[in-house]
Structure 1
Amino acid sequence: MSVLDTLATQLPQELRVKLMQHFGIAKEYEKNPQTISIAYYCLMYIANEAFKFPKEKQFVSNVLDYLETTKRNNPHDDIIKSMATGQETIEELVTVLVEETNEAEGEEIKSPDQLRLLMRKHYTVGGLTDVLSVFGPVKEDFSTLGKIAKNRAVAIFRELKAGGGGGGGASSGMRPPESNTGANAPAISPSKPPAASAYPQMPQMPSANAAASYHDQSGGSKSVPFDVISQAQKLFRYANSALEHEDVATAMKNGEQALQLLRPYNNQF
């Protein structure tokens, strides 16, 4: 039994309906060393969701151990090392899967096997749009794609259960966000996300997630507990929201509280 299989058996009962599909997605992408980063972020999402249940600390700890081991075993994986690159990679993967499901939905006649494959792709799109939340608020386009994909997957499941396997049309299809389409969009296979080098990195201010995970990139930092990271992320998000409303005082207050949480774990502060 693999580590992911073991973790899946430990998934709390109240989270099984919501998170079991994300384990399935992670297991599929973990098979290929080139796509293990997708599994990594799926497990990060699972940890974030399980962390909302205080009594499940042991399960969260086990998932975090998996994340640390995966990061340690893949030191040169730029998608794992950079959350910005991770977000771009998963968004691009979702876009490609959506294009494939749109094409498949356009076929007038589908066999049961084709419907099952289409259903799995829809479930994957829905699950990956959930995973995007680990990087911050999910973009509206992708949030919409996820909802459509989940609804369509359920509809196909019911059709298969009823013995169907024929109809289908583009009316229920999805459209990828415009920012990721066009002749110049990088082509990738669903099982192989684009290499990190495909995304030139522009200088930018660190996001809340980047700031909270800074300890992983600094040689003089201590290991930061997951609950501290989570709280710091929330405070940075509150600060960002305050700035959007030009409330500098509130932004400074939340930012300072976040820094105060992180100072004990980084001797550079």
Structure 2
Amino acid sequence: MSQLDTLAAQIPQELRVKLMQHFGIAKEYEKNVETISITYYCLMYIANEALKHQKDKQFVSNVLDYLEATKRNNPNDDIIKSMTTGQTTIEELVTILVGETNEAEDDEYKNAEQLRSLMRKHYTVGGLTDVLSVFGPVKEDFLTLGKIAKSRAVAIFRDLKAGAGTGVPPAKPPEKQSPMKITPPSEIPSPVSHGHGASSSNAPFDTIARAQKLCRYAASALEHEDISTAVQNCEEVLELLRPYNNN
């Protein structure tokens, strides 16, 4: 049994559902010395959550010992040494994974193994956006990405339970719904001017870009019937654009 397996077995019962996913991500990235930093920050998140809930001081102490040992054994790892570099690295990884899930979602027919792989990748995106909280408040873009990824992972899990990808029709066919497409922050399109009205031309470039991004997030939220998030995004769009509405 690896040290991570030992730690996972010690996790307080009340936190198992919340944190076992993050142990799984940590273990996956521990396999490669070049990605041990991802494991490091996953364990930091786990320790923070356990401390926040004041659960099992011995468990927290053991996780902190693991972190110290990892740092000591990787003295030249710049990602571990610098929290700023760590945050940038995980944000970039999330963006890459989102691109991969979008590409996989484009395949209309997926077998069960492909669906399981896609589900795990969505769960990883969701878990890593949680981990970003160790660096401070998580950027809104990544909060949204994480929320959508978790929702999509649950949807795929239900599809698999219903027989998707096996060639056997589900007992109750799910409602036809287009797969979720997520727009990573680095892939948000630039605003395009259509020349309609003078008021739109008065809005700054970055304001229009921000409004477009929020509209896309609102649409994504509605795909999963997340009305609260959609309303919040739409209200932010109105707040952004109202000062430039001369009509």
Q: Structure 2 length normalisation: TM-score? A: 0.70
Corresponding residue for residue 100 of structure 1: 100
| 1:26 aligned onto 2:26 | yes
| 1:130 aligned onto 2:138 | no
User: CA separation of 1:131/1:55 partners in 2, compared to 1, >3 Å: closer, same or farther?
Assistant: closer
Corresponding residue for residue 35 of structure 2: 35
Contact in 2 for aligned 1:107/1:169 (Cα 8 Å):
no
Corresponding residue for residue 72 of structure 1: 72
Corresponding residue for residue 172 of structure 1: 180
User: CA separation of 1:58/1:181 partners in 2, compared to 1, >3 Å: closer, same or farther?
Assistant: farther
Contact in 2 for aligned 1:119/1:152 (Cα 8 Å):
yes
User: CA separation of 1:169/1:115 partners in 2, compared to 1, >3 Å: closer, same or farther?
Assistant: farther
Structure 1 runs of 4+ off > 4 angstroms? 166-171, 179-182
User: CA separation of 1:179/1:97 partners in 2, compared to 1, >3 Å: closer, same or farther?
Assistant: same
**What is the distance in 1 between the residues matched to 2:66 and 2:134?**
16
Identity percentage of aligned residues: 77
**What is the distance in 2 between the residues matched to 1:179 and 1:93?**
14
User: CA separation of 1:134/1:181 partners in 2, compared to 1, >3 Å: closer, same or farther?
Assistant: farther
Q: Where in structure 2 are there 5+ consecutive unaligned residues?
A: 168-173, 191-247
User: CA separation of 1:160/1:25 partners in 2, compared to 1, >3 Å: closer, same or farther?
Assistant: same
Contact in 2 for aligned 1:95/1:180 (Cα 8 Å):
no
* Aligned-CA RMSD value: 1.9
Structure 1 or 2, whichever has the larger Rg, is: 2
| 1:159 aligned onto 2:159 | yes
Of the two structures, which has the highest relative contact order with CA contacts closer than 8 Å and spacing of 6 or more? 1
Corresponding residue for residue 117 of structure 1: 117
User: CA separation of 1:26/1:180 partners in 2, compared to 1, >3 Å: closer, same or farther?
Assistant: farther
Q: Where in structure 1 are there 5+ consecutive unaligned residues?
A: 183-269
- The code of the aligned residue for 2:182 comes to M
Shift of residue 52, structure 1, vs aligned partner? 1.6
1:65-89: CA deviation from partner (whole Å, max 9, x where unpaired): 0000000000000000000000000
Contact in 2 for aligned 1:105/1:169 (Cα 8 Å):
no
User: CA separation of 1:113/1:171 partners in 2, compared to 1, >3 Å: closer, same or farther?
Assistant: closer
Shift of residue 173, structure 1, vs aligned partner? 1.7
Q: Structure 1 length normalisation: TM-score? A: 0.65
**What is the distance in 1 between the residues matched to 2:160 and 2:153?**
11
Number of residue pairs aligned between Structure 1 and Structure 2? 182
1:39-80: CA deviation from partner (whole Å, max 9, x where unpaired): 000000000000023241111000000000000000000000
- The code of the aligned residue for 2:60 comes to V
Contact in 1 for aligned 2:95/2:186 (Cα 8 Å):
no
1:161-219: CA deviation from partner (whole Å, max 9, x where unpaired): 1111289976412110137999xxxxxxxxxxxxxxxxxxxxxxxxxxxxxxxxxxxxx
User: CA separation of 1:169/1:100 partners in 2, compared to 1, >3 Å: closer, same or farther?
Assistant: farther
Q: Which deviates more from structure 2 when the two are superposed, residues 137-146 or residues 161-170?
A: 161-170
User: CA separation of 1:180/1:174 partners in 2, compared to 1, >3 Å: closer, same or farther?
Assistant: closer
Corresponding residue for residue 214 of structure 1: none
**What is the distance in 1 between the residues matched to 2:188 and 2:182?**
14
Q: Secondary structure at the match of 2:52?
A: coil
Contact in 1 for aligned 2:101/2:121 (Cα 8 Å):
yes
**What is the distance in 1 between the residues matched to 2:122 and 2:91?**
15
**What is the distance in 1 between the residues matched to 2:41 and 2:53?**
19
**What is the distance in 2 between the residues matched to 1:28 and 1:123?**
13
**What is the distance in 2 between the residues matched to 1:68 and 1:55?**
20
